Homo-oligomer: A and B are copies of this chain.
Amino acid sequence: MKIGVADTTFARVNMGGIAMDELRKHASVSIERVTVPGIKDLPVACKKLIEERKCGIVMALGMPGRQEKDRMCAHEASVGLISCQLITNTHIIEVFVHEDEATDDRELAWLAEQRTREHSRNVLILAFSPEELTRDAGTGQRQGFPDAGPARR
C-alpha cells in the first residue's frame, strides 16, 4: 500500500519530511509526497493522492496560526478532510499542530516533530495491523504531549 504525505509551506516545521523519515524507519513503504501553500489546500491534495496517485492512506500535516481566523481555517480544512475520507473510503490522518499549543518556537518545533512521528506510527498500524489499535482502545493515548491514560487505573 502506498502512503500519501501532504504538507504545507505555511507550517513552520518540515512536517512532511519528518513524517517520511519516521515512516521509512519502521517500514519499507512507497511514499507519495505533495506540498501545498496552506491547510485549506490539503483536502483536494489528499483526494488527488488517493485517486490519481493511488495512495491507500494519507497523512495531512499542517500548522494553524494563533489567530481566530486561523482556527476557522483549521476547522474548514478538517471538515474537508472528513468529506474526502467519506468520498474515497480511505483514512486520512490529520496531524495539525496549533501554534498556540506551544509557548515558544523551540517547544513548537519539538511538538510538531513529536506529534508527526507518533502519528506516522499510527498510520503504519492503521494500514498494516489495525487490530493492534483495539488493544489500546480507551487508554487515553495522546500524540506529542504525554498520554492522558485511562480514567480507571
Contacts and interface: CB of A to CB of B under 8 A. Distances in A.
Interface of A: 7-17, 33-37, 40-41, 43-45, 47-48, 51-52, 63, 65, 69, 71-73, 75-87, 89-94, 98, 105-106, 108-109, 112, 119, 122, 126, 130, 133-134, 136-143, 148-152
Nearest to A141: B9
A43 B11 contact: no
Contacts of A13: 138, 150-152
Contact of A137 (B9, B51, B86): B9
A140 to B, nearest CB: 4
Contacts of A87: 86
A70 to B, nearest CB: 11
